[in-house]
Amino acid sequence: MSRSGVCSGPASDTIIVIGAGPAALCVAAELASHGLSPGLVSPEDPHKPWPNTYGIWGPEVDALGLSHLLAHRWQDTVSWFGAEPTHHRIDYGLLDREALQALWLDSWRGNGGQWHRGQVLGVRHDPEGTWVMTADGGERRARMVIDASGHASCCVQRHADGPVAGQAAYGVVGRFDRPPVAEGRFVLMDFRPDHLSPEETHAPPSFLYAMDLGEGRFFLEETSLALSPPVAFDELRRRLHRRLAYGGVEITTIEHEEFCLFPMNPALPDLSQRLLAFGGAASMVHPASGYLLGSLLRRAPDLAACVASGLAQGTPPQDLAAQAWQTLWPRERRRRHALYRFGLEKLMRFPEARLRNFFATFFDLPQEQWFGFLTDTLPSPSLLGAMLQLFARAPGDVRQGLLLPEGRELRLLSQLINPPGP
């Protein structure tokens, strides 16, 4: 079938990946490195440019051997939680979206991967494999199917355990009449409330995420922490312009507008299901930081190796799915996920001033602790130790907000002892 082939009539692949975004291409490329030729099924062409920006910490991308894929890298990385900046002293990078997409596409296509156009409506299983059904009436069958279509997947089953909070952001790439942030600087979080009225400080807080892209171009994004319901894009746009006006800055040219909304705290998928998932569909977005790209890059090789080995050995589909789910979400990682979700539940209840105090304390922890927390690279005992140390260092209002778990927080604490899944 050609690159633009339409998915119609029964057809078969060894493995199918649902989706065409970063998660789908990441896992498809890894599968291709094992000699497999996964078919992609999606309504959009996998060659379509990605609309969003993807940041990653310098040491993360260095450890993966992919620092050459950075479009920008900053050594001057700061946040503001009060009058003085917090200097993070760790490089931060912006991935070159075109280069990363091309890397994965070349790997996938180079091993015979093909795209089948179709809007997936569902899947059904038989003893030998899984059928993918599309809106045009087409069906494709594979021994293994991986859903990497994002958090809005209609196929992945998960146990609902309460409202899902969304992190929203509105951003612009453009030029300004004066630099909105210091030249050569990356701003992770600017929580300064100086531009807000006393009444506005009682509204759900948001912060500025900003990058100097060089040659007079900047990327600015007004971001809210996860909330249910999330802060509206129009409100975030208004806040960004209000912030700029307070600093005497005007936008002269808008090259690109970015609208970003994704769930932060969905429950884990049902790990007993035959359908495998990856990326947002597999709840891999970090519940506390919102990062995903580093996790995709770190976890795709092990998942692909597990799937490739099982297919080569003729492992029955149900057993292979169970092995793959355990590779993606082992017990220790499920514990960490529950701990992150617990922390997010607490932060969502914090007013603006308490939130600034929390983050000021968090980034005062030893660098390896806050960095490992944000990147999900700390083992559970170290993660718990970091959180206990944060509690010990925190001012009284933050300690008060972290005490007395209730509702879903209690259920999440129970998952630290008995995480969901096998």
Q: Which domain CATH number covers 201?
A: 3.30.70
Q: Establish if 72 belongs to a structural domain.
A: no
Closest C-alpha among 268, 248, 3 to residue 161 = 268
- Whether residue 308 sits in one domain with residue 177: no
- What is residue 36's three-state secondary structure? coil
Q: What is the pLDDT of residue 12?
A: 58
Q: Establish if 74 belongs to a structural domain.
A: no
Q: What is the pLDDT of residue 223?
A: 96
> Residue 11: which domain range?
5-48+98-158+267-329
- Whether residue 138 sits in one domain with residue 9: yes
Q: Which residues contact 64 (CB under 8 A, 6 or more apart)?
A: 294, 297, 298
Q: Which domain CATH number covers 143?
A: 3.50.50.60
How far from 189 is each of 111, 124, 211, 244, 361, CA to CA, in Å?
A: 42, 45, 11, 15, 14
- What is residue 377's three-state secondary structure? coil
- Whether residue 184 sits in one domain with residue 320: no
Q: Establish if 75 belongs to a structural domain.
A: no
- Whether residue 216 sits in one domain with residue 291: no
- Whether residue 340 sits in one domain with residue 310: no
List, as one string, the DSSP characters of 188-255. EEE---TTS-TTGGGSPPEEEEEEEEETTEEEEEEEEPPBSSPPPHHHHHHHHHHHHHHTT--EEEEE
The span from the first CA to the last CA of the chain, in angstroms, equals 39
d(CA 81, CA 358): 9
- Whether residue 285 sits in one domain with residue 354: no
- Whether residue 381 sits in one domain with residue 280: no
Could you say which of 246, 263, 280 is where a domain stops?
263
- Whether residue 220 sits in one domain with residue 121: no
Q: Establish if 224 belongs to a structural domain.
A: yes
Using only the alpha carbons of the chain, give its radius of gyration: 22
d(CA 395, CA 224): 23
Q: Establish if 66 belongs to a structural domain.
A: no
- Whether residue 16 sits in one domain with residue 147: yes
Pairing of strands 129-134, 139-147: antiparallel
- Whether residue 324 sits in one domain with residue 336: no
- Whether residue 336 sits in one domain with residue 308: no
Could you say which of 263, 293, 312 is where a domain stops?
263
Q: Establish if 377 belongs to a structural domain.
A: yes
Q: What is the pLDDT of residue 7?
A: 42
d(CA 338, CA 272): 18
Could you say which of 263, 282, 307 is where a domain stops?
263
Q: Establish if 286 belongs to a structural domain.
A: yes
- Whether residue 305 sits in one domain with residue 184: no
Q: Which parts of the chain sit beneath pLDDT 50?
A: 1-10
Contact 120, 154 (CB under 8 A): yes
- What is residue 364's three-state secondary structure? coil
Q: Establish if 336 belongs to a structural domain.
A: yes
Q: What is the pLDDT of residue 142?
A: 95
Q: What is the pLDDT of residue 410?
A: 57
Residue type, 351: P
Q: How many domains does the chain have?
A: 3
